[in-house]
Amino acid sequence: MAFLGTAVSRVLRSRAPLPPLCRAATRTYCAPSSSPPSLSGEQQTSTKSVPYQEQQTSTKSVPYQKTLKVEEGGSGGPTKPLPCAADAVVIGGGSLGCQTVYHLAKMGMTNVVLLERDRLTAGTTWHTAGLLWQLRPSDTEVELLAHTRNVISRDLQQETGLETGWIQNGGLFIASNKQRLDEYKRLMSLGKVYGIESYVLSPGETKDLYPLMNVDDLYGTLYVPKDGTMDPAGTCTTLARAASARGATVIENCPVTGIQVGSDDLGVSRVRAVETPFGTIQTPCVVNCAGVWATKLGDMAGVKVPLIAMHHAYVVTERIEGIQNMPNVRDHDASVYLRLQGDALSVGGYEQNPIFWDQVCDKFAFGLFDLDWDVFMQHIEGAINRVPALEQTGIKSTVCGPESFTADHKPLMGEAPEVRGFFLGCGFNSAGMMLGGGCGRELAHWIIHGRQRDMYGYDIRRFHHSLTNNNRWIRERSHESYAKNFVVFPFDEPLASRNMRTDPFHQVLQAQGCVFQERHGWERPGWFNRDGPAPVLDYDYYGAYDLPRNTNYKYNQLLGKEYTFDYPPHHDVIKDECLTCRNSVAVFNMSYFGKFFLTGPDAKKAADWLFTADVNKAPGSTVYTCMLNKKGGAEADLTVSRLEPGPSHLPLAPESNGDAYYLAIGGGVAQHNWSHIQTVLQDQQLRCTLLDQSEHMGMISIQGPKSRELLQEIVDADLSNEAFPFSTHRVVTAAGHKVRAMRLSFVGELGWELHMPREVCVSVYQAVMAAGAKHGVCNAGYRAIDSLSIEKGYRHWHADLRPDDTPLEAGLAFTCKLKSQIDFLGRRVLESQKAEGLRRRIVCFTIDEKVPMFGLEAIFRNGVPVGHMRRSDYGFAIDKQIGYGYIRHPEGGVVSPDFVRSGEFSVERMGVRYRATAHLKSPFDPQNKRVKGIYPTPQEQLHTASV
């Protein structure tokens, strides 16, 4: 018998070292590659893969009550005849495919087909660990997980009378440092909003609960009694039967060989049919739930699917006395999990040096790789430390199979931007069982009715199109997200695949100490380090694969100092940037913004339908507006500027003989906005052109009481209130160059944005900084913008404004042309909501005690949980912690202003409640005087300070 603590080390000593990235010979139904891949994914010809000297058992023991494993795949033909047509075809019979077809049928789409090339679960689902943890640092994911749990533990059994194999043995999160325990306390507070039972336990209490655990190095644990374990085979079998009972058709042993795509009258690519060796199914909708094989399926339709396959493993131990009925354990800092398996444990985790599976085999079914102990040993060490009894416990079997991983460790879902009717439900990063129920429901709703809730974090459109087929980006980011799976601090940034998109100011700002953030591939300023430059270096894979680590890596060191849930160490730097903006003038580089032109014969119709505000004012006007979905949810907020017709002067102006608009959109969501606009134009059959000039233009924003004095020195136009009012724009000459100046503010101050051709950016910036020197001008980054904007009450899309928030709920009714007769997308929903009253409403909260908050803190009214913070930051001008969250009436009633005013509110952070003051308007400049250039006199400031 091999013991975890001794036999493994002997195996390691006796075996020759293996080459990186391809250390294991595969045991599959297709031959392994004879040469290992390099870091770039290219094949090497001089190095041979070394097989194991000690072979594992020929039949892998997977820890489930039931298994769907069959010999050599399945029979020679499909298990059912293929229909000629279907409303939707789901491809892939794993967790996501089965959940999606089940929910489609449950929502009424019964003419739906699931195609599985082998048998259900044959790809990656059959060997998954099947863990379900209810608490995650995302309100959306908490809701998705709750639905999965309900489907697995309750709904399927009630519908079919069959057991799914659900075991509720609880979950235990391990904290071996203060920061990790703080994270778990945050999760506990969020769980109270959703009614999820959880407890933070001391080391002693943890020992009482789990007597075999070593607690000597623990700060504490988070115990969630109703977490549990799922059986993939039992679950998928029951889902398929339930879907079939509602009219869906589940066909196994039927591989897909092609996707037919055609163009409609407007030239839009759409799904037409699915091809198989046994016939063709005509369909307008394909759902790619093919897991590791999703990229190949996407290629059939011309759709980019940015995921990568890796080996993912666990071992199953022999019997352990006293382990029965213990909760599943996740030790994030050791990157290991311990899953209860009857009277044994399954041990797995996420390593720093995962093995990539570059040559994905089409015929791989119910197959496994041999386990590479060199890679896996790090998990054994962590597991033995946590449960010392494992050192003398035998290894019953090893399970090492393929899983698909993505650049941000989040799934890929939604309609592909390249082809209408081609939906993604793949890339689940080994969490397909856990997220399957929630995501299957959302995907089904997406297909039939449109997106139901905020799924932007999973939407394929969160990635810019320049990245989704970039092999370096996919590989590096997927590796880092895998290796850093358990790092969840609020100010963390990736190190992989940086500097993919840089603006003209990048070098000059880096020389001044700019610490960059990455968004949408762009490098944007985060904050400015007083100790000089901190450049981002090429990715070093954290020293894995025998690559040298980056040494004296200043940028990485700065990130590491911010791994905390306290105020970050650079809090005072951000304070100085904010207060310089409030009291004098600051310059923000916002070049990463999306910059689109909307033109064409139907441009005015499109603008009326797309935008909630009336943007068809006189040329020279700029309007802040939202774009909605058909449920009234905010798909975007942006500014739209009406342009004069005229010849092309790109990048400042497009050619237009009629209506033309300039759209400025937050750069992190530019692809999402672009795709939303294109989809609406296609659905409405509007003849328009959408032109992207984001890469060809830069943009700086000059904000603060001294901004007019500064800019007047370098701009040839009159910048007075009368000549250049707020919310207007014009082309002016700045430092000798033509730029588009817009009088706008995202920080609540007097200010202008300068949009300009890429080649003149540095020259204009240098002139701005020279003119501002006597005013004490400073550079400022997005960390300052986050603070300044929340202090003023401005929304951040996908934080306090999301696709499941309406403008009325978000306090943005002023952006909606409801008093006009102009129809717009989502208007009917808003009119009904306005008539019925709001069932939830965004509220501003300030906390007098100086405690850091970042969002997800629970909100209580009169002691009852009514919501959670969406976003929180420190407001330096008001010198208070400030946050925004949506609250509901605990009895389901209308949330009126009186309901807000009459309640006593508190906010819970890490289990401690703090008294909070609720505001229906921002407490900073509630009369909006500052953006109009109206500032208090020194005497008024003195009076205010004394009060």
Write the secondary structure of 802-814 as one string of H (helix), E (strand) and C (coil).
CCCCCCCCCCCHH
In the predicted model, residues of the chain with pLDDT beneath 70 are 1-75, 939-947
Instruction: Please tell me the predicted confidence (pLDDT) of residue 9.
Output: 55
**CA-to-CA distance for 850 and 844, rounded, in angstroms?**
16
- Select from 790, 891, 886, 922 the least CA-distant residue to 454: 886
With H, G, I as helix, E, B as strand and everything else as coil, classify residue 221. Answer: strand
Determine the Cα–Cα distance for residues 230 and 188; give it in Å rounded to an integer. Answer: 23
- Tell me the two tokens of residue 575: 């304070």
- Asked if residue 839 lies in contact with residue 888, where contact means CB atoms within 8 angstroms, the answer is yes
Distance, in Å, from the CA atom of 796 to the CA atom of 256, rounded to the nearest integer, reads 42
What are 834's two structure tokens?
A: 């306005």
Residue at token pair 């001294």: 706
pLDDT reported for residue 30: 38
Say if CB 33 and CB 359 are below 8 A apart.
yes
The Cα-based distances of 192 to 212, 268, 795, 884, 915 in angstroms read: 29, 47, 26, 18, 17
Q: Within a 13 Å sphere around the CA of 324, how many CA atoms are in the beta-carbon half? A: 4
Locus of tokens 């749990």: 149
Tokens of 306: 């940015």
Predicted confidence at residue 62, as pLDDT, reads: 53
Residue 412 has a pLDDT of 98
Classify 55 as helix, strand or coil. Answer: coil
Residue 487: both structure tokens together = 């790092």
Type of residue numbered 390: L
Query: DSSP string spanning 630-656?
Result: TTS-EEEEEEEEE---BS-BTTTB--B
Q: In 547-583, which positions are buried (b, 16+ CB within 10 angstroms) versus exposed (e)?
A: eeebeebbbbebbeebebbebbebeebbbbbbbbbbb
CA-to-CA distance for 360 and 309, rounded, in angstroms? 8
- Give the separation between CA 419 and CA 651, rounded to whole angstroms: 28
Give me the amino acid identity at 889.
Answer: H
Strand order in the sheet with 395-406: 199-201, 220-224, 171-175, 328-331, 336-341, 344-349, 307-317, 395-406
Sequence-distant (6+) residues with CB within 8 A of 504 are 591, 698, 758, 759, 761, 762
How much is the pTM?
Answer: 0.92
**Nearest-CA neighbor of 708 among 722, 696, 698, 694?**
722
Euclidean distance between CA atoms 555 and 523, whole angstroms: 13
User: Where is 945: in which H helix or E strand?
Assistant: helix 938-946
Distance CA 322, CA 329 (A): 15
- Cis ω for the linkage preceding 852 (within 30 of 0): no
C-alpha to C-alpha distances, 596 to 661, 674, 678, nearest whole angstrom: 8, 8, 12
Q: Which among 873, 790, 782, 789 has a CA at the least distance from the CA of 515?
A: 782
What is d(CA 867, CA 859) in angstroms, rounded to the nearest whole number? 5
E strands in 28-101: 88-91
Predicted pLDDT at 76: 77
Please check whether residue 263 is in contact with residue 252, taking contact to mean a CB–CB distance below 8 angstroms.
no
* Radius of gyration (C-alpha) of the chain in whole angstroms: 29
Helix 432-448, helix 95-106: angle, nearest 10? 40
In the block, which residue shows the tokens 């893969």? 49
DSSP strand E in 542-606: where? 586-589, 594-599
Measured distance CA(400)–CA(423) in Å, rounded: 29
- Which residue type occupies 915? R
For 39-80, list the strands marked E by DSSP.
none
Query: What b/e readout covers 349-378, taking b as 16+ CB neighbours within 10 angstroms?
Result: bbbbbbbbbbbbbeebbbbbbbbbbbbbbb
CA dihedral 758, 762, 768, 770 (to 10 degrees): -170
> With contact defined as beta carbons under 8 Å apart, do 675 and 418 qualify?
no
111-124 residues labelled b (16+ CB within 10 A) or e (exposed):
ebbbbbbbbbbbbb
Residue 940 pLDDT: 67
Q: Which two tokens stand for residue 866?
A: 């009514």
Q: Which residue has the tokens 């100086």?
A: 850
Reference 227, options 312, 333, 129; nearest CA is: 129
Contact 767, 735 (CB under 8 A): yes
pLDDT at 936: 87
Distance of CA 5 to the CA centre of its chain: 39
Q: Are 35 and 44 in contact (CB under 8 A)?
A: yes
End-to-end CA distance of the chain: 78
CA-based torsion, 445, 446, 448, 453: positive or negative: positive
Q: For CA atoms 34, 36, 37, 38, give the dihedral sign.
A: negative
Residue 222: alpha-carbon gap to chain centroid:
24
